[in-house]
Amino acid sequence: MTDGPKFCSNSGVTGMPLLSYVSWAGHSLRYPGEGGGRLRIPEMQRSEVWGPDRIIGVWRSVLEGMPLGAFYLVPGSRGADHDLSAGATEHFTEEFELLDGQQRTRALVLGIVAPENEHRCLWVATSKDVGLDLFLTTRGQPFGYDRQGKRLGIQERRDARIRWEENNPQAKVTGPSEPDHKLFHGAGGPPPPAKADGPGEALPLHRIIAAWRSGARSAVDLARELQSKADSALMQQLVPALDNLERGEVALLRVLSPRHEKDEGEWRLRLFGRIGTAGVPLSQAEQRFSIFKHHRPGSRAATDKIALAAGRLLAPPEIMSTALRIARAQGDKPTWWPYDPSAFSQAMRSVKPEDKKLQGCLDELLGCKDGSAADGSSGSQGLLAVMTDIDAALRQTGREPGFGLPATMALPLRAEAKEVLAYWRYLHEATPTDEMSLDMIRFALAWELCVWDHQRAVVEAFKFLRNKHDARAASFPLLGLLQSIAVLPYPGGNGPERPVAYPILPPERLDAAFTPIIDPLWRPWDDCALRVVADKPARELYAAWRNSRGRLIAWLQRDYLHTELAKLGPDVGHEDDWPLDLDHLQPSSSFDFDWRDRKRLDVDSNEKSREARFTIGNAVGNFAWLTSTDNRSAGNKPVAEKIWCAEDGSLRLAMRSIFEPEEADRWKRVSTLADSAWSKARMIDFQHAVERRTLWLYRSFWQEAGFQALWDEATKAALP
């Protein structure tokens, strides 16, 4: 193992050979606690991670001999008390936290670590005559990305799988039924990137670097060591690139906290924010999570376990925030807003009885017993059990596809809605959720459509659950929760102090306010429909539904999406791979053109036309979810070909739950090629087709979700 950096006791700056730093970091991060100088990622981390383009970019830089910038190291427990004023010159080895340079370091480590220890692998294509061609493959994308770091399409991946099976003897063992994601850690190693210029014409970067470091310093020696038939021109280019890598150095800055700082963890958090002012700042949730991890070492393992068990329904910082909100709501004097980071840091240091009680509740919720390392295995009230139940209820895990949310909707659902569900489950831990999952899904659907002030709404919902909690009445209080945030009428009009959501209304209310206009011009949306200005609630709800785009259409297409998602591996939706696209029925290139392009218009236009077309074309009435393959193959085909099967005229599978048969003729009239001109009749038909489908989809949503019974009950209770 490579030794860590060595600082003189009177200096906070040192240099280190680049390859030595990467080897030391790679070994330390993979095998914490072993050997001399150790490096670890600190508790404070931004949620964003580098994509393939950034990872490849940093490696291109070092292979071209460019500098990387400084890395900030904060001494760990063994190095925090060193006195730099002593003037001593001896060297010593310390344990460090990598405060700044986390993403660069992780990207660099990928180039020297074999894929059996990682879920990613860097490659160099071996058939290029000019320049080095780098690629990244991952477990979720075993055939890699294109040269710009964009993921391959579904059909490209299928083609790559066929080519790999034709050229890899291991395919006979693996079998065609083995899913792609399992190929990465197969016996033959990960498949080479599909965008390399031919089968087998790419070499893993870690093998190239290992060969160089073992003494293969010429193109001939490299080819021999790598057992490669690569073009000699490429091997000639590898030599100077690897020489740049070997000669490269990194600047390391050792940062010590001030001697009289009361809370070193809080000071490090401020320093982390100061260093990252030019980057993505930490959210308050991430800051609170960093503080908690500082006081509860090992809590990251607990939240990771909860996130994994709950289908990644919430990210670890959101899980921490959920625990904090529940803990504060359960106090003797309940408070509804999470602490700001500074106040939370003080509470975690405090020995006051109320703060110790808060700490104990957090430990119980997150599985952190007595501040020791946690594994998430807390008692029945822990968030491990709570969030697992919520995930199963929302997706109806173990049942046939029916009412449950597809992953395309469950994962992006607002964290505040999940916090409310988690609090109810925490209060009613023993209640079976099978019978209540339908109401929990209805709650999520109503929240997604109606709530616009999410922070205030979660406060109102928590107040309701805390104040109305009765162990004997354990059913999920769907009506009361929706009334508490004014989605449904509240008895006596005693709803929240100020609006936090739009009221959900029967479709007849929206239909009555709809007045289409026959006009030769593209019109702003508010001039096209719902012209009854006095009915403000109907207009607001219509606008919210219109702008909901695919989030709620995903639920109307849930059977189709469940079927398509079931074909994919476990990393789908987690890494970077949705196999589904939200598609414009009328391609955006057809309606979102420059209004001054008169060749596209057979009628006069005006300066508002482009905005109006953009709004109409991006309304929920012009959307559908399709598999990426179907979407790309459709391209700019006429709308009719995307909706109906050419063979027998039946609706395509994806459209069967989201297309109204009565409007078929209107959609077929707008079904011309994307680059064809817009006539007055076509413009009117397109506007009205989208508007009417928007209303029809809302009616389908209302009926399938069963909101009518809730509306009847709420309005009856609200009568004087």
pLDDT > 70 fraction of the chain, expressed in percent and rounded? 76
- pLDDT at site 177: 58
Q: How far is CA 146 from the centre of its chain?
A: 21
pLDDT at 88 over 70: no
Show the tokens assigned to 501: 């959501």
- pLDDT at site 381: 57
C-alpha torsion angle, residues 507, 508, 510, 515 (rounded to 10): 140
pLDDT at 376 over 50: no
Confidence band for 462, pLDDT divided at 50, 70 and 90: very high
- Measured distance CA(718)–CA(488) in Å, rounded: 10
C-alpha torsion angle, residues 695, 697, 700, 706 (rounded to 10): -80
- pLDDT at site 187: 72
- pLDDT at site 126: 66
What is the topology classification, in CATH, of domain 7-112+249-254? Answer: 3.90.1530
Backbone angles phi, psi at 11, to 5 degrees: -140, 145
- pLDDT at site 487: 94
Confidence band for 89, pLDDT divided at 50, 70 and 90: very low
Q: Tell me what the mean pLDDT of segment 667-688 comes to.
A: 82
Q: Tell me what the mean pLDDT of segment 668-673 comes to.
A: 84
In angstroms, what CA-CA distances link 127 with 197, 209, 222, 231, 339? 7, 18, 15, 6, 57
Beta strands in 379-521 (DSSP E): none
- Measured distance CA(652)–CA(643) in Å, rounded: 6
Of 310-319, 372-381, 623-632, the one with minimum mean pLDDT is 372-381
Q: How many CB atoms lie within 10 A of CB 309?
A: 16
Q: Tell me what the mean pLDDT of segment 7-36 comes to.
A: 75
Highest mean pLDDT among 334-348, 435-449, 515-529: 435-449
Q: Tell me what the mean pLDDT of segment 64-70 comes to.
A: 86
pLDDT at 176 over 60: no
Q: Tell me what the mean pLDDT of segment 1-20 comes to.
A: 80
- pLDDT at site 86: 39
- pLDDT at site 353: 92
Is residue 98 a contact partner of residue 25, using CB atoms and an 8 Å limit? yes
Greatest Cα pair distance, the chain, in angstroms, is 92
Is the pTM for the entire model greater than 0.85?
no
- pLDDT at site 484: 92
Mean per-residue pLDDT of the chain = 79
Confidence band for 596, pLDDT divided at 50, 70 and 90: low
Q: Tell me what the mean pLDDT of segment 50-67 comes to.
A: 87
pLDDT at 145 over 60: yes
Domain ranges of the chain: 7-112+249-254, 115-247, 283-501, 508-705
Q: Which of 336, 359, 337 is nearest to 347 (CA)?
A: 359
- Measured distance CA(543)–CA(549) in Å, rounded: 11
- pLDDT at site 142: 87
More confident residue, 521 or 315: 315
pLDDT at 360 over 70: yes
More confident residue, 595 or 490: 490
- Taking phi over 0 as left and psi of -120 to 50 as alpha, with beta for the rest, 573 belongs to left
Tens of pLDDT along 526-569?
444 444 456 888 888 998 999 887 889 999 999 898 888 776 65
- pLDDT at site 485: 93
Tens of pLDDT along 644-662?
988 888 999 999 999 988 8
Confidence band for 194, pLDDT divided at 50, 70 and 90: confident
- pLDDT at site 554: 92
- pLDDT at site 380: 42
pLDDT at 517 over 60: no
- What DSSP designation does 16 have? E
Is residue 549 a contact partner of residue 620, using CB atoms and an 8 Å limit? yes
pLDDT at 278 over 70: no
Q: Tell me what the mean pLDDT of segment 34-43 comes to.
A: 63
Tens of pLDDT along 198-223?
655 788 899 999 999 888 888 888 88
- pLDDT at site 597: 66
